[in-house]
Structure 1
Amino acid sequence: MKLVAAFALCITSLATISGAYRIYNADVVNCRSSPSTSGSVAKMYKANDDLSLACQISAENIKGNTLWDKTTDGCYVSDYYVKTGSVGYVVGKCDSSGSTPSPSDNGKIPGPVKDDYPYPGECDGIDPWHYYKCQCTSFVAWRINSRLGVKFNNYYKGPNWGNANTWDDAARKTGVTINSTPVPGCVAQTDSGSAGHVAWVAKVSGDSVTVEEYNYAYHKYSTRTVPKSAFKYIHISV
């Protein structure tokens, strides 16, 4: 598929939903004040509800799974009931007090080069960050949240970040650094194409940069190594 056609699909939405991972294995699941069945029930989720995770912690064994997921609502659900696509950690570890780790603690910047996007093949609808699923903007918003520990969304710090070709404008409006110097864990951005494109910087080597991205190859994950000059770079956290 031509580059411009791929960029043209990198669009946004104003709709919202509640989170990134889906509840399954039960009709109703309790979200508790602590990672234990003895914790008080703070909230309840229904099957197929989506959650956004802040961190994970090893605690009481539930049906062979010792992981508990702390949601961005501030309560805990046994990972047995959350469809993360993994039996291990998919976000940073909570510290002993249950608080969310800083990026330097979880060792995920820039993180492994792999397709860990939570919606592979599920490209209908809106993600938790207010973007269409499987778009480049959705993938990068996911990486900013999961690996930088920044609660980024389409309205980060106030303005609408919109399509990929307006992320540089939004960065300038909000005081986020944007320059021509890539570092692992920053956002590669271009205005090229009808809606622009954003990608996650995985590696910098000399005058080349390796990026991970979605929808460069039509709703799919891919990687490329290109000249640094191909992009501008938005430094949300790094």
Structure 2
Amino acid sequence: MGMDKTAAGTEQAGVSTMGAVRYPVAPGYRVNVRSGPGTQHRIVRTLALDVRVPIHCQTTGERVSGPYGTTNIWDNIAAGEFISDAYVKTGSDGFVAKRCG
């Protein structure tokens, strides 16, 4: 009969087709993805410009300053991958996802 309407509009609304909310990373920043919640953890990859990331869970770690303030919240965006919440536009200074662990 045609296109699945729910799947077609989902990504545009900022939600992945799997249902996880995806949040925009600060425009103009190539954010380092770390193996843990702090800059002492190794860099596992660097995000492309202007991407959206899922937040599977959040944890506290090193305090970091970025375009969205100073915070000790780190976002788990994939298995073993964390970025500082200071670089993610969640619309909140607090937790927006369950705690990791």
> TM-score, with normalisation over the residues of structure 2?
0.73
Equivalent residue number for residue 161 of structure 1: none
Greater C-alpha Rg: 1
Q: Deviations over 1:180-205 (max 9, x none)?
A: xxxxxxxxxxxxxxxxxxxxxxxxxx
| Contact map agreement 1:32 1:39 (CA 8 A) in 2 | yes
Change (3 A) 1:48 1:25: closer
In 2, the alpha carbon distance for the partners of 1:59 and 1:68 equals 6
Greater RCO, CA 8 A, separation 6+: 2
Runs of 4+ in 1 over 2 A off after TM superposition: 13-19
Q: Of 37, 43, 52, which residue of structure 1 is paired with 2:54?
A: 52
Amino acid paired to 2:6 = T
In 2, the alpha carbon distance for the partners of 1:73 and 1:52 equals 11
Change (3 A) 1:25 1:37: farther
Please, which runs of 5 or more residues in structure 2 have no aligned partner?
none
In 2, the alpha carbon distance for the partners of 1:60 and 1:25 equals 22
| Contact map agreement 1:26 1:81 (CA 8 A) in 2 | no
Aligned-pair identity in percent equals 29
Please, which runs of 5 or more residues in structure 1 have no aligned partner?
1-10, 96-238
Q: Deviations over 1:101-121 (max 9, x none)?
A: xxxxxxxxxxxxxxxxxxxxx
Is 1:81 the equivalent of 2:81?
A: no
Deviation at 1:82, TM superposition (A): 0.5
Q: Deviations over 1:66-90 (max 9, x none)?
A: 1000113530000000111110000
In 1, the alpha carbon distance for the partners of 2:95 and 2:56 equals 12
User: Greater share of strand residues, 1 or 2?
Assistant: 2
SS of 2:95 mapped into structure 1: coil
Change (3 A) 1:25 1:36: farther
User: Greater share of helix residues, 1 or 2?
Assistant: 1
Q: Of 43, 65, 71, which residue of structure 2 is paired with 1:65?
A: 71
Deviation at 1:38, TM superposition (A): 1.1
How many residues end up aligned between the 2 structures?
86
CA RMSD of aligned residues (A): 2.5
